[in-house]
């Protein structure tokens, strides 16, 4: 039985409910697509209702300010920028946290390249959080550690998707944890793909394209080897390479097609300037809309400062970065206004995918995206260059049948 959710679109999988439950009546269980949902053991449930109240899908953000300060930012340390998704803002936040003797919660690949939220308190642990992993992270285990760290008076930097940040923040509030030393940083979010599809994808590579005596040694979904703007997937092997396979069959394309995204991502509560975090990070692609006085080739972060705490932290870091203030219009992005659109053949994809023994064939069939996605992908670079991206994005949102 699903808790508090009429349909799967009502659950973002943050696991705040299972963590808040004082009688361990809630377990997160995986569905056939690889998304986790809460299940209640009615024999244990004491009907305290805390699971429903803590849920970040139940909150009303309308009272919150929707007027963040917005900046384009590039970390002055080019090595940091090269190793990051965009302009390396996360590295500045992480370095500051470590300098305070604090800990960072971020998303890394584990040894089997599964995507997990982990705790980092050394430079080498924290470096693994850099670059976006376009897969839903397993976050369930960090709740108690964050609480313990805050109870022990440590500075904590928590990063994640907006729904994850909201879930943990609400959990801490319900547990009456002092959050004076908690700094939260979410990302502008396109949606999170199923971890199961990512793990199937790795298996396909291993069984069909990687020699039995070879192995994957690193994965980077935001490699800047070719250029920042191409969002390249780079998978390094111990001996050979599979560049040509990835060029043709890239997980990044699968991510962008949206067929593998969590159902709730198409109904996201957080695709707005109202954020659940102190600081929000994104990619600042539309450099043409602002006159940036610094080099943008290696990547630029878009930074939203949402709270007083976020502003105080930003003020301590901004001397180590090139920054340019942006208006809301200049910093506009689709996912600050509306959720990703569910592809029309979303259900058909999952039926094909779960029933087929040839997962690769199904992924290849759907990864091109819907005709609309293909047109957008083709036109985006031109629209960005000509400054028409924002207008096109706004028009797309009001297309008949597209609103929702
Ligand atoms: C699933 C996803 C979708 C995104 N969609 C957009 C978008 O539509 N538009 C946009 O402008 N930006 C988007 N971003 C944000 C963007 O990719 C960069 O995270 C942002 O530019 C920050 O760059 P950086 O150089 O400061 O961070 P980096 O140094 O690259 O640090 C990456 C940060 O992201 C966190 N992170 C990595 N993987 C995940 C994950 N799976 N879930 C949660 N947190 C994660 C890490 O913990 C770290 O804090 C998305 C990120 C993710 C993870």
Report all structural domains of the chain as residue ranges with CATH numbers, in order of start: 8-58 (3.30.70.20), 64-404 (no CATH)
Residue 139: CB partners within 8 Å, gap ≥ 6?
Answer: 14, 15, 117, 160, 164, 167, 168
Q: How many residues does the chain have?
A: 404
φ, ψ of residue 377 in degrees (nearest 5): -60, -40
pLDDT for 384: 76
363-373 pLDDT, tens digit each: 999 998 777 77
> How far is C-alpha 398 from the geometric centre of its chain's CA atoms?
25
The 3-state DSSP class for residue 91 equals: helix
pLDDT for 287: 67
Residue of 132, 224, 313 to test ligand 1 pocket, by largest number of atoms within 8 Å of CB: 132
3-51 pLDDT, tens digit each: 545 689 999 999 999 999 999 999 999 999 999 999 999 999 999 999 9
pLDDT classification of 404: cutoffs 50, 70, 90: very low
What dihedral do alpha carbons 251, 340, 116, 347 form, nearest 10°?
A: -70
Least reliable range by pLDDT among 17-31, 96-110, 339-353, 385-399: 385-399
Tokens of 11: 């659950």
Tokens of 5: 């959710």
φ, ψ of residue 139 in degrees (nearest 5): -110, -10
Protein residues with CB under 6 Å of any ligand 1 atom: 84-91, 106-107, 115, 129-135, 137, 159-161, 187-190, 192, 281-283, 301-302, 333, 335
Between the CA of 147 and the centroid of ligand 1 the distance, in Å, is: 24
Between the CA of 50 and the centroid of ligand 1 the distance, in Å, is: 30
Least reliable range by pLDDT among 147-156, 212-221, 367-376: 367-376
Of all protein residues, the one whose alpha carbon is nearest to atom 6 of ligand 1 is 189
Helix, strand, coil shares of the chain, percent, nearest 5, are: 40, 20, 40
Q: Is pLDDT at 68 greater than 60 in this prediction?
A: yes
Full-prediction pTM beyond 0.85? yes
Between the CA of 232 and the centroid of ligand 1 the distance, in Å, is: 14
Stretch 68-80: mean pLDDT: 97
pLDDT for 105: 98
pLDDT for 376: 77
Tokens of 175: 């547990």
The 3-state DSSP class for residue 37 equals: strand
> How far is C-alpha 371 from the geometric centre of its chain's CA atoms?
25
Report yes or no: 163 and 270 within 8 Å, Cβ to Cβ. yes
Average pLDDT, the chain: 92
Stretch 336-364: mean pLDDT: 96
pLDDT for 1: 44
Stretch 343-356: mean pLDDT: 96
Q: Which residue has the higher pLDDT, 221 or 381?
A: 221
CA–CA dist 204, 135 (Å, integer) = 17
Residue of 85, 93, 296 to test ligand 1 pocket, by largest number of atoms within 8 Å of CB: 85
Least reliable range by pLDDT among 100-109, 202-211, 267-276, 368-377: 368-377
pLDDT for 3: 52
pLDDT for 401: 52
Q: Is pLDDT at 403 greater than 50 in this prediction?
A: no
pLDDT classification of 400: cutoffs 50, 70, 90: low
Q: Which residue is associated with the tokens 């036109």?
A: 379
Of all protein residues, the one whose alpha carbon is nearest to atom 30 of ligand 1 is 131
pLDDT for 181: 98
Closest CA to 284 of 297, 275, 274: 297
Distances (CA, A) of 65 to 14, 45, 179, 366, 383: 24, 37, 20, 39, 30
Between the CA of 34 and the centroid of ligand 1 the distance, in Å, is: 21
295-337 pLDDT, tens digit each: 899 999 999 999 999 999 999 999 999 999 999 989 999 999 9
Stretch 277-297: mean pLDDT: 87
Least reliable range by pLDDT among 75-79, 263-267, 298-302, 389-393: 389-393
Residue of 109, 126, 187 to test ligand 1 pocket, by largest number of atoms within 8 Å of CB: 187
């Amino acid at each position: 039985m699903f808790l508090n959710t009429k349909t799967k679109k009502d659950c973002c999988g943050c696991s705040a409910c299972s963590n808040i439950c004082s009688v361990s009546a809630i377990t997160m269980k995986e569905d056939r697509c690889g998304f986790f949902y809460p299940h209640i053991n009615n024999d244990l449930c004491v009907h305290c209702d805390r699971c429903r109240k803590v849920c970040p899908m139940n909150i009303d953000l309308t009272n919150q300010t929707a007027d963040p300060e917005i900046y384009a930012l590039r970390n002055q340390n080019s090595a940091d920028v090269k190793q990051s998704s965009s302009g390396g803002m996360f590295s500045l936040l992480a370095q500051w946290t470590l300098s305070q003797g604090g800990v960072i919660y971020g998303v890394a690949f584990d040894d089997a390249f599964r995507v997990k939220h982990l705790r980092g308190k050394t430079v080498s642990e924290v470096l693994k959080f850099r670059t976006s992993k376009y897969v839903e992270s397993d976050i369930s285990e960090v709740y108690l550690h964050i609480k313990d760290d805050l109870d022990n008076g440590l500075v904590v930097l928590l990063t994640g998707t907006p729904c994850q940040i909201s879930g943990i923040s609400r959990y801490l509030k319900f547990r009456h944890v002092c959050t004076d030393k908690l700094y939260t940083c979410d990302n502008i979010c396109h949606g999170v793909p199923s971890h199961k599809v990512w793990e199937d994808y790795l298996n396909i590579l291993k069984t069909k394209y990687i020699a039995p005596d070879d192995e994957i040694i690193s994965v980077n979904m935001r490699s800047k080897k070719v250029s920042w703007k191409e969002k390249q997937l780079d998978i390094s092997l111990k001996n050979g390479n599979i560049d040509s396979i990835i060029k043709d069959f890239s997980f990044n394309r699968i991510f962008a097609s949206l067929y593998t995204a969590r159902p709730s991502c198409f109904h996201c509560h957080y695709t707005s300037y109202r954020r659940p975090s102190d600081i929000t990070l994104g990619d600042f692609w539309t450099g043409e809309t602002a006159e940036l006085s610094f080099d943008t080739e290696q990547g630029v972060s878009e930074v939203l400062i949402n709270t007083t705490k976020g502003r105080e932290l930003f003020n301590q870091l901004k001397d180590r970065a090139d920054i340019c203030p942006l208006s809301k219009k200049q910093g506009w992005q689709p996912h600050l206004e509306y959720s990703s659109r569910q592809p029309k053949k979303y259900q058909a994809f999952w039926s094909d995918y779960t029933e087929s023994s040839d997962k690769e064939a199904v992924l290849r069939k759907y990864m091109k995206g819907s005709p609309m996605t293909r047109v957008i992908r083709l036109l985006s670079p031109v629209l960005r260059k000509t400054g028409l991206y924002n207008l096109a994005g706004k028009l797309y949102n009001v297309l008949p049948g597209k609103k929702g």
